[in-house]
Amino acid sequence: MTPRPTSSGSDPKTPKKTAEEMAGKAAKTVKKVAEKAVAPKKAPATRKTPEKAVAEQPAAKKTAAKKAVAKKAAPEKTAAAKAAAGKAVAKKAAAKKAAPEKAAARKVAAGEGAAKKTAAKKVVTAKTPAEKAIAKKAVAKKAAVKKTVAEEPVAEQAVAERAVAAKAVTTRAAAKKAATAGKKAAPAKAAAKKTAPAKTAVKKAPARKAAAGKAVPETASVGTTAPEAVSPALDAGDRERLLSGTHHDPHTVLGAHLVPGGVALRVFRPYALAVTVVAGEERTELHDDGDGFFSGLLPLDEVPAYRLLVTYEGTVQDTEDAYAFLPTLGELDLHLIGEGRHEQLWTVLGAHPMTHQGVAGTRFSVWAPNARGVHVAGTFNFWDGTGHPMRSLGSSGVWELFLPGVGEGELYKFQITRPDGSKTLRADPLARRTETPPNTSSVVTASHHEWRDEEWIARRAELTAHQAPFSVYEVHLPSWRPGLTYRQLAEQLPEYVRDLGFTHVELMPIAEHPFGGSWGYQVTGFYAPTARLGTPDDFKYLVDALHQAGIGVLMDWVPAHFPRDDWALAEFDGRPLYEHEDPLRSAHPDWGTLEFDYGRREVRNFLVANAVYWCEEFHIDGLRVDAVASMLYLDYSREPGQWVPNEHGGRENLDAVAFLQEMNATVYRRVPGVVTIAEESTAWDGVTRATHHRGPGGFGGLGFGLKWNMGWMHDSLDYMSHEPVYRKYHHNEMTFSMVYAYSENYVLPISHDEVVHGKGSLVSKMPGDWWQQRANLRAYLAFMWAHPGKQLLFMGQEFAQGAEWSEARGPDWWLLDAGYGAAADHRGVQDLVRDLNIVYRHTPALWRQDTDPAGFEWIVGDAAEDNVFAFLRFDADGSPLLAVSNLSPVVRQDYRLGAPDDVPAWHETLNTDIGKYGGGDVTNPDVIKPEPQGWHGRPASIRLTLPPLATIWLRPA
């Protein structure tokens, strides 16, 4: 135990005059300490008097004042000061003092006479109001922090000394008079002696934390001399790192922190003229340290709640301090990000308006592991992010900053200091809203849309896409009706699509893109719907309207590549980050873009979470994944020497395979009822096979729900482009698709790719005159709707637009105007598409067994000389539909076809040659009954009239 000093107060025999002289000496000593600690700036005129300040100090400050008085060396204390300190100690001593010290205190108390006790009691009753408040609140502070005076840190002693010197001089004088008036020195000394045990019990105090969560270093053991107050100004190293934008943890030096001598408050506000700290009713102007740095030492023993008044030329900003807040991201979030498994990544990265520690603002966070420093720049700081450095959250590579007062609608970017020290201003990779191109800033946003599609969401999971009607209208939203916003489109598109009978729309890439001529396929804002048509909530409104009209929404999704714009993802933090570090792997040879590094877990997480994001946040019903083939092969569009084989010596991109498998598995697990569709143009095995089922090549399936049948599209269009007289030489191009029809789950796509770049529109691909072109188109569409697989048709082709599509012009809607002479021809094709969808929806034979070979049988597939194709489609219960196409320009009377003998009669349910479609009205109006004559290997046959360049559908009568 620490030896007790010989005496804890003045000699009982010392005359009263000597005690007063010693009190004066003590006051001078304390005044010198105060003058040394006080900042060079003068206090504002509104600052409170020392008497009032002490009277209104919080409990922490008052307790510190008592401790400072109690801890002064015995010869330098006045009897009154010792009495004031002794009273606070006496209230704490019962619960906190060590046993030996308690015994010593009791011995001193017992050795004093009744007169001494009476005198001590009178000292208590003689307190000033300020001292009463101090004594009362000291007990409360003791209960809160559970520390005796003997256990308080050295830092608090310095705070107390400064507080006494700067604010409590007058109060001490009053206390001195109250304690000494009419009292003897001996009783006062006896009361002061009670403080001795507290002084001997002071030891090394544990580190304490400031509001920003950073600890003050532990202090050395305490003797009888308190340490000097430290300068609150930043040291040269921190100052330089903040100015150069390379500080990894600005919260450790900016904001408020406990230091020896009080609370150091440091603010970095470039261009500010002055900064004032407001803590309760206290105002303290900080010292201008130059270069935008301001600092001050507040005489407190704990960090207060405070605000900043920042004076700029012509204005004063009243704000919270961004560096007074704890991190907004938790350990679990950072762990999942590091593991590449955060399936809702958009909820933690990006810009999020929120209330944090009771204050409204926006949390900014970004992944930039190679950056030396990251700042937030935006409209709220005049696009100079110097004063808003972010903190690095450990090894996660994530930088974070909560900015109070920043709300929705603010523009922002991240100012990144690269490894070489240069700086770049980048859009947020997870921005959920952007400026309208060509502007490139990210926008702080929050969703306020209230969904009304609960019925649709509940119903969509009841039947999988493979066993349901699924006909898709592909739309490029900016040009479908040029000039319409998302909300205006919501008034027209659902009605139009429902009228035509399509089950789904597929929207060409909605994600933000800088160049409209890319049609959205070169994405820079993967988490933001394009601002060309409105806000994210406006897009949600459109999706909601489509769902309420009974129409599913598919979206083109582009994880294969991204453009090189220097404000977006390319070398985002100064080094290859989202792209592969190997130039042979990163540069896309066809499009001048960059390919993602699918082997990096954070990049894979960015893309997987993005797929989930569109489905969960925007209620998207399916993703059509673009350019899958370019992802799967290392040698895609590359010559020998331009690619490196995988670890097995093969050409497969194993990283991309793993990414696609993870994406599909995650989406299907999280969002029931959705479908993923691969635009894959090769014979890759198992595109739509489950990921856990291995194929002949040793790979598990990619896990897609459907795959575009690019082979069928190319072959069938090639056949149709030939004059009928030559078609017999290409007959197999229409039948070959059935050789592999059940190797995958297919969509039959007539997409935008087939009506651009000089390929002409769909009707213009057909041979012959205008009548024959339209007849060929109608016959082809009916053949397509009857063929196994789902259907997709690009906008404008439903009414036989003659011109090639242009994103600047959109469909030629004027072709349907009543005043146009050939409008009936175009309306006829449109009417056919409507009827195809109506019959298709109500005929399960056309979709129930799309992925089952039992759902299809050829009647005749080798009638090349006749240009005739006939096949049956079956429902699960055996109900058939007979489809017959005559792709020659002649009428074939009494054309005999083999038929099932268990169908007593057939009737024509659709004929593409009827007059309202623009045909010649060659039909089969009567019921058709089978004859017992065998034909085409069947026991019965029927005789039909086949119209020229037409397809007919027959169902059991």
Active-site amino acid positions: 626, 679
d(CA 938, CA 933): 9
Instruction: Tell me, rounded to whole angstroms, the distance of Cα 223 from its chain centroid.
Output: 54
Instruction: Tell me, rounded to whole angstroms, the distance of Cα 66 from its chain centroid.
Output: 51
320: exposed, middle or buried (Cβ count in 10 Å: 0-12, 13-18, 19+): buried
Residue 503: name the closest of 554, 543, 452 by CA. Answer: 554
Instruction: Name the pairing type of β-strands 790-794 and 892-899.
Output: unpaired
DSSP class per residue in 806-872: -TTT---GGGG-TTSTTHHHHHHHHHHHHHHHHHHHT-GGGTTTTT-GGGEEEEEEEETTTTEEEEE
Contact 476, 484 (CB under 8 A): no
d(CA 502, CA 791): 9
d(CA 453, CA 551): 11
Residue 576: name the closest of 565, 586, 584, 567 by CA. Answer: 586
In this structure, how many other beta carbons lie within 10 angstroms of the beta carbon of residue 517? 10
Long-range (24+ apart) CB contacts under 8 A made by 488-491 are: 489/533, 489/542, 490/541, 490/542, 490/544, 490/545, 490/546, 491/545
Contact 678, 708 (CB under 8 A): yes
Please, which residues have CB within 8 angstroms of residue 831's CB and are 6 or more apart in sequence? 916, 917
CA angle 215, 221, 226 (to 5 degrees): 85
Residue 811: name the closest of 470, 436, 474, 437 by CA. Answer: 474
Contact 69, 77 (CB under 8 A): yes
Amino acid at 466: H
CA dihedral in degrees (613, 617, 619, 620; nearest 10)? -30
How does DSSP classify residue 340?
T
The kind and range of the H/E element at 90 are: helix 79-96
